[in-house]
Structure formats: structure tokens, C-alpha cells
Amino acid sequence: MKTVDITELLSKNRIAAKAKLKRQGLYLPRRPVFARPKLPSNLTDLDDAQLMALFVRFTRYQDHVHGLVATAEIDEHAVETMLEIAKARYLAKSWTGSSSDRIAVAKAEATLDVQVRDYDDQFASCKALRKMYVVLFDSLTRDASVVSREISRRIGRSDGERRSDRYTP
């Protein structure tokens, strides 16, 4: 099996997962039409409508990136499985049944096999992409939390202001 086959298999896994979601009436969030939101340094200067719009942009981007994380995890698992199969095939074909055959040597040789290396490289690539998506998702989550805290602060403040307004002559 070559890298092209890996790409086809990954595509099949993703398509199958998305088809199952669709049958359940569910869909992965699409990429928002706007750029990734940035947390402004003057968050308290935003009016309420701007603040809520920013919060919505963060949560929509979080939804999208979390879908990317899930897709990357599917890919990573598929390639990891293919890597383990390739290693097992190599070990099985090189095993003579002799007691002098050593598992450690066979595993080392399997690691040097071109096909096993190809799968290992693909696995490392999928894992790296997933990790980058997780970092992006975590960053968006932290920024959305900051915006949420500002919303909560304003709500708490506005309750006190409304109470004091009722008792002001």
C-alpha cells in the first residue's frame, strides 16, 4: 500500500463518519466566512452589541476547529492502524519459526522497511496536524472565556446599577 492508498482510506473514513452524522441529522460546523477572531486589548471599551458579536465569532470558530480536531483524530487513528498492520505483516513474513529469530531484531528491521517508514511518516504528520488544531482550539476557548467573563461582569454590574437606580430620588 502506498501513500495514495492512505489518502483514499482517510477520505473513506471521513466520508463514512460524516455520512453517519448526516443520517442522524447532524453536520460538522463549516468554516465561518469571517477570519479567526482576535481578542482586542480594549475589550471593556466594546459596547454590548460588539461584545456579543465577538463572543459569537469566537464560539463559531471554536465549533469549526473542534470539528477539524475530530477529523484529524480519525485520520490519525486510521494511519496508526495501517502502521501497526504494516509492522505485523513485515514481522510475519520475516519470521522463520526458528528459535534463533529474535523479536527485537525483527522489529528493528520492520522499522527500517520502506512501507513501514511511509506509514510512520504519515502517522507523525497526522498526529502533528491534530496537535496544532488542539492548540488552536484551546487558544480560541481561552479567548472566548475572556469575552464570556466580560459579559458576566457587565451583567453583574448592570444588576447593581438597576437596583441603585430604583432607590435614587
Q: Span 128-145, mean pLDDT?
A: 94
Q: How many helices (H) and strands (E) does the chain have?
A: 4, 0
Q: What angle do CA 110, 83, 109 make, to 5 degrees?
A: 5
Residue 39 within any structural domain of the chain? no
Q: Which pLDDT value is given to residue 4?
A: 47
Q: What pLDDT shows up at residue 163?
A: 57
Q: Is the pLDDT of residue 36 over 50?
A: yes
Give the per-residue pLDDT at 58. 95
Q: Kindly state whether residue 34 falls inside one of the protein's structural domains.
A: no
Please give the average per-residue pLDDT across 121-131, as a whole number.
Answer: 90
Question: What pLDDT score does 168 carry?
Answer: 54
CA angle 90, 94, 98 (to 5 degrees): 140
Q: Is residue 169 part of a domain?
A: no
Q: Read off the pLDDT of each residue in 45-50 and give the average, rounded to a whole number.
A: 94
Q: Is there a domain that residue 164 lies in? A: no
The stretch 64-70 carries a mean pLDDT of 93
Q: What is the arithmetic mean of pLDDT over 118-128?
A: 88
Around 148, how many Cα atoms within 13 Å sit in the side-chain half-sphere? Answer: 9
Quote the CA–CA distance of 107 and 110 in Å, as a whole number.
Answer: 5
Q: How is residue 47 annotated by DSSP?
A: -
pLDDT band at 162 (very low <50, low <70, confident <90, very high): low
Residue 1 pLDDT: 45
Give residue 119's identity as a one-letter amino acid code: Y
Q: What angle do CA 135, 61, 73 make, to 5 degrees?
A: 50
Q: Which three cell numbers stand for residue 52?
A: 456579543
Residue 73 is assigned to a structural domain of this protein: yes
| Greatest distance between any 2 Cα atoms in the chain | 99
| 89 located within any domain | yes
Query: With 60 as the cut, is the pLDDT of residue 169 above it?
Result: no
166: pLDDT strictly greater than 60 = no
Question: Mean pLDDT, the chain, as a whole number?
Answer: 83
Domain hosting residue 9, numbered range: 3-29+45-159
Q: How many domains does the chain have?
A: 1
Q: Residue 167: inside a domain, yes or no?
A: no
37 occurs within a structural domain: no
Q: pLDDT digit string (tens) for 98-114? A: 666 677 667 777 777 88
